A and B are shown apart, each in its own frame.
Chain A
Amino acid sequence: MYHLILLLVSVFAGLLGSLLGLGGGIIIVPMLTLGLNVDIRYAIAASLISIIATSSGAAASFLKDHLTNIRVAVLLELGTVTGAIVGFFVSIHIKSSLLFQLFGFFLLFSSIMMFRKKEDHPSNHGHPWSSALQLNSSFPGPDGKSIPYLVANVPFGILSMIFAGAFSGILGIGSGIFKVMAMDGAMKLPLKVSSATSNFMIGVTASASAGAYLLRGDIRPEIASPVAIGVIIGSWFGSRIMLKMSADKLRKLFVLVLTIVSIQMILKGVRS
């Protein structure tokens, strides 16, 4: 019975994740800790598995649509993986109660960010590293024509990714929100390219921490298996109904749920 509940919630997490462009982590961790009373360290480890599954599936679709900038992704992965190492180190040295509070505040931040107005901020000048590594590229516009873009502030982008990677390692999340913020806001990549490139990178960031959690013995098949299966099924359905659904109403409802859950997580952290 409990297996099936977790499987269904994971299907929902995968479905919502692919519809709203999120990793499953912000649904999986609260479900496991608040719903099934699982220790937050096991929950974080299982959540990383769900992130790799969602990211790999979604990245495959985005690559076919020519939205991912593979060169930018490879460069920024240097930052995210370094951050993930720092994050894993920090996570094993802090108390579970602090993890709950951090996770709660991250959820609150995510719900605020979901109301952010989304528009492109193109740059007129690239960075010297962009020319050297041929990071500047183009993406297909609505009419099918190729729209060129320049990549700015590359060193700042790498530094931001260390921060995003550390959060991923500590909380078992994809940190897609931070990655998109840095790429879209600072590096001036188009929003669609930022989202697709972030998705491509999330799997590598999660894999860096997931490998360490696995060898530490924190990834347990009893928890991680239904989560992985559910998320794979959910994101598969999500990618198929994405074009037929308006994500806007769903986003508003999800923000409300996210805010309530974030308060519960913070309270549990304060009380324990």
Chain B
Amino acid sequence: MKQDNLEIRISCFLRFGVLLSGTLIFLGWIFKFRPTGNPYFNFQIYDRIPFSDLIFFYWDKKDWAMMISYAGLISLISLPLVRVIVLSILFFRQREYNLAMISFLVILLLFLSMSMGLLL
């Protein structure tokens, strides 16, 4: 595969990813939108609530707006990770094993980094 082709594929993937996650975040935000009050008052003091607890809380409350927002945020955060995975596969198919291995190492490091959020 030529370099041009690789660049265009990754470019299209990124554009589509931003559009998809942006739409989900927008929908979640619009459904939850309240014009009055200060929604940031509760965030003036840091209070750590793990992601799993937040998700279970909103799931129990059937708060679909928050669930859609989280889906959008997760897809946005995953976008660079998926981009590295795609690159790793493309390098492997081009038989550029050194760069494929480096991309694979980056993927492992990304997973390690994300798992730290659960452990610490």
Q: Which residues of A contact B (CB under 8 A)?
A: 1-4, 6, 32, 36-39, 41-42, 49, 52-53, 55-57, 59-61, 63-64, 66, 68, 70-71, 74-75, 77-78, 81-82, 84-85, 88-89, 92, 96, 132-134, 203-204, 206-226, 228-229, 232
Q: Are A39 and B28 in contact (CB under 8 A)?
A: no
- Inter-chain residue pair count (beta carbon < 8 A): 208
Docked complex: B46-95 residues within 8 A CB-CB of A: 46, 48-51, 53-54, 66, 69-70, 72-74, 76-81, 83-84, 87, 91
Note all chain B residues with C-beta closer than 8 A to A6: 40
A217 in complex: contacting residue of B18, B29, B54, B105, CB < 8 Å:
B54
In whole Å, how far is B8's beta carbon from the nearest beta carbon of chain A? 7
Q: Once bound together, how far apart are the Cα atoms of A214 and B18, in whole Å?
A: 18
A204 in complex: contacting residue of B34, B110, B120, CB < 8 Å:
B110
Residue with the highest number of chain A CB atoms closer than 10 Å, among B29, B37, B54, B70: B29
Note all chain A residues with C-beta closer than 8 A to B49: 217
Q: Once bound together, how far apart are the Cα atoms of A226 and B40, in whole Å?
A: 12
In whole Å, how far is B106's beta carbon from the nearest beta carbon of chain A? 5
Q: Once bound together, how far apart are the Cα atoms of A88 and B110, in whole Å?
A: 12
Q: Once bound together, how far apart are the Cα atoms of A170 and B102, in whole Å?
A: 25
**Nearest B-chain residue to A205, judged by Cβ:** B80
In whole Å, how far is B64's beta carbon from the nearest beta carbon of chain A? 12
Q: Which residues of B contact A (CB under 8 A)?
A: 3-4, 6-8, 10-12, 14-15, 17-18, 21-22, 25-26, 28-29, 32-40, 43-46, 48-51, 53-54, 66, 69-70, 72-74, 76-81, 83-84, 87, 91, 96, 98-99, 102-103, 105-106, 109-110, 112-118, 120
Q: Are B74 and A225 in contact (CB under 8 A)?
A: no
Note all chain B residues with C-beta closer than 8 A to A66: 4, 7
Residue with the highest number of chain B CB atoms closer than 10 Å, among A1, A59, A133, A208: A208
Note all chain A residues with C-beta closer than 8 A to B12: 60
Q: List 29 A-B contacts (CB under 8 A).
A: A2-B37, A32-B40, A39-B45, A52-B80, A53-B22, A56-B14, A56-B79, A60-B18, A63-B10, A64-B8, A74-B99, A204-B80, A204-B83, A207-B81, A210-B77, A211-B110, A212-B113, A212-B114, A214-B51, A214-B114, A215-B51, A216-B117, A216-B120, A218-B48, A221-B25, A222-B32, A225-B29, A228-B21, A232-B22
In whole Å, how far is A195's beta carbon from the nearest beta carbon of chain B? 16
Q: Are A42 and B113 in contact (CB under 8 A)?
A: no
Q: Are A57 and B40 in contact (CB under 8 A)?
A: no
Q: Are A57 and B14 in contact (CB under 8 A)?
A: yes
Q: Once bound together, how far apart are the Cα atoms of A203 and B11, in whole Å?
A: 13
In whole Å, how far is A173's beta carbon from the nearest beta carbon of chain B? 16
Q: Once bound together, how far apart are the Cα atoms of A225 and B70, in whole Å?
A: 9
Residue with the highest number of chain B CB atoms closer than 10 Å, among A52, A133, A206, A221: A221
The 5 nearest A-B residue pairs measured at CB: A215-B117, A211-B114, A212-B117, A221-B69, A63-B11
Q: Are A203 and B80 in contact (CB under 8 A)?
A: yes
**Nearest A-chain residue to B79, judged by Cβ:** A56
Q: Are A42 and B46 in contact (CB under 8 A)?
A: yes
**Nearest A-chain residue to B78, judged by Cβ:** A207
